[in-house]
Structure 1
């Protein structure tokens, strides 16, 4: 037995060497695979590599926000697609390069949260405020609707996730320093202030819109105080052309009974923030005046019709302009309560 022991020991050591050699090859192969496998990138790098975000990439670079989103952190970026920029009037990278850097920075900061909120973290509900890097909140909603562009669809109903009035068209672009959600519209911070000041400032954003007659009607009816209330409201704002089409020029407004004007103006106001993705097709919206207006809604258009408008609906021509105390929708026809 003693004479066979060295042979047995040698065999044992030989087996151990084989096992160790195999493990070395295995871990070396794993390490090589890990080194060559693609990993996550920062948000800035993710946007740079995305074909849908060429204009956003230019805006981040011009504003200096690319450096912020390249740092370590837990950011959430609501990323407007190229189509979203084009719809707002930024046709290409050249248009971005011509814009003031500070303006771009203030707008883009309104698209960034300093906390990471993934798609699974968004609970069903409306207008959940989340603070942005612009020191003003955005309002995130998750609702179920029978129509409209959906983030997910189950049994014929669409689950719509939106931030302010922008729909999230793709969730959870994962990055090392946060998450990216693609949105179909640029988010505008409440740069003007409350609803009254926002209506006054809208023409600087939409040069074709004018609200001199609306402002004259508000002044005569004494409605400015209610529109400046701290309580959140939604205003369907008729343009000057909408007032004139209903027979209200400046002279008619000056002669109209105050009670009549107050009733008409109150018929254009809802309590609470109602962004367009929250409006269900065929819904009846209760106004501050006490009456109701009927809404139709799709992924691309929203209309509202007053009791006195018959079948002539008013188109929401520029939706979801955020104010500090609510939201404004531009409409092309005066809503008549009777």
Structure 2
């Protein structure tokens, strides 16, 4: 008799689910739903596991129409999931949020969408994802939340599937202040932004990109505690936070398309009108895919430690030192 470790059990359950419909749900008569399209695609095993574990596979046999933003197996691996068994072992509530964020409430045919940056898409989670369709050289580049669309407009009987190269992080925060407050390592910058009062002047639909210094960066810049920040003159706080904020939301990948063709640099403007030259480092196998960004402030290069934290009013990138 063969013996299996505890950690192999979820994979065996997934394998049985994939190969024998009597183990899981009853198969619908329609064999071309988004549910079935995923199951029939060997490059989407991690996603199939996520859909099964959360029960959202049942949604994808309904009439819809829906659009499935299908993260590739490599996308799941890049996000830290070793195999489908690791996906199955994930906390169910977390996995449900992630999975619902990858399903749109309507049919998205990308080939028919007009050119534009970060066009909003309503997800099953109730928050928005963003589609960019832009010219890059002679090519039309497609991204969703800065993730490259690898395969577009796969038709199913109840909608469309778009395969992407990243696992999207759900937009779980109503606005940038909520997003900053939810990250403990940004508590000092959050307090500086809140105490500056500038967010009170922002329009409801206005979007920004924040390069948020972590707590070590803020302490190194002389902001050692929440109490000290509260007591700091407002003018000084405004200058600090406005240097780290730019208009419009920009995912890491967006800078590649905004840069002058043939150059890997884009000059950004902060809210206090200071230049932030941004250097773009590309994936070595694909010049289109951005690996890293570096902000040059004087002679210093500052590289984000985390990118593309999405909120309802913009994007947060975390950095390890302040600009001033």
* TM-score (norm: length of structure 1): 0.74
Instruction: Pick one of 161, 165, 174 that aligns with 2:146.
Output: 165
| Aligned counterpart, 2:271 | 288
| Match runs of 1:253-332 below 5 Å | 253=229, 257-279=233-255, 280=259, 281-297=264-280, 298=282, 299-306=289-296, 309-332=297-320
* Structure possessing the higher radius of gyration over alpha carbons: 1
**Structure 2: distance between partners of 1:211 and 1:58:** 34
Change (3 A) 1:312 1:234: same
Instruction: Pick one of 79, 93, 98 that aligns with 1:102.
Output: 93
Whether 2:118 is the aligned partner of 1:127: answer: yes
SS at 1:133 equivalent: coil
Alignment deviations for residues 41-72 of structure 1 (CA, whole Å, 9 cap, x no partner): 22212212222221111100011111111233
Cα pair 1:73 1:177 within 8 Å, conserved: yes
1:255, distance to aligned residue in structure 2 (A)? 6.9
Cα pair 2:128 2:171 within 8 Å, conserved: no
1:40, distance to aligned residue in structure 2 (A)? 7.3
Alignment deviations for residues 2-27 of structure 1 (CA, whole Å, 9 cap, x no partner): xxxxxxxxxxxxxxxxxxxxxxxxxx
Alignment deviations for residues 247-296 of structure 1 (CA, whole Å, 9 cap, x no partner): 54338756754323311210111122222222133111121112221112
Cα pair 1:165 1:319 within 8 Å, conserved: no
**Structure 2: distance between partners of 1:47 and 1:124:** 28
* TM-score (norm: length of structure 2): 0.77
**Structure 2: distance between partners of 1:257 and 1:196:** 20
1:80, distance to aligned residue in structure 2 (A)? 1.0
Cα pair 1:238 1:333 within 8 Å, conserved: yes
| Aligned counterpart, 1:206 | none
Alignment deviations for residues 162-194 of structure 1 (CA, whole Å, 9 cap, x no partner): 112222122122322222111122222321321
| Match runs of 1:202-241 below 5 Å | 202-203=183-184, 210-226=185-201, 230-241=205-216
Instruction: Pick one of 118, 138, 141 that aligns with 2:109.
Output: 118
Instruction: Pick one of 73, 77, 87 that aligns with 1:86.
Output: 77
| Match runs of 1:56-75 below 5 Å | 56-75=47-66
SS at 2:50 equivalent: helix
Structure 1: gaps spanning 5 or more residues: 1-38, 147-153, 204-209
More helix by share: 1
Stretch deviating more after TM superposition (120-129 or 79-88): 79-88
**Structure 1: distance between partners of 2:179 and 2:32:** 39
SS at 2:43 equivalent: coil
Stretch deviating more after TM superposition (94-103 or 222-231): 222-231
Q: How many residues align structurally?
A: 280
Cα pair 1:313 1:333 within 8 Å, conserved: no
**Structure 2: distance between partners of 1:226 and 1:302:** 32
- Say what the alpha-carbon RMSD is for the aligned residues: 2.6
Stretch deviating more after TM superposition (218-227 or 98-107): 218-227
Alignment deviations for residues 72-130 of structure 1 (CA, whole Å, 9 cap, x no partner): 33221111112222333333323322233333223222211232222312221112112
SS at 2:276 equivalent: strand
SS at 2:250 equivalent: coil
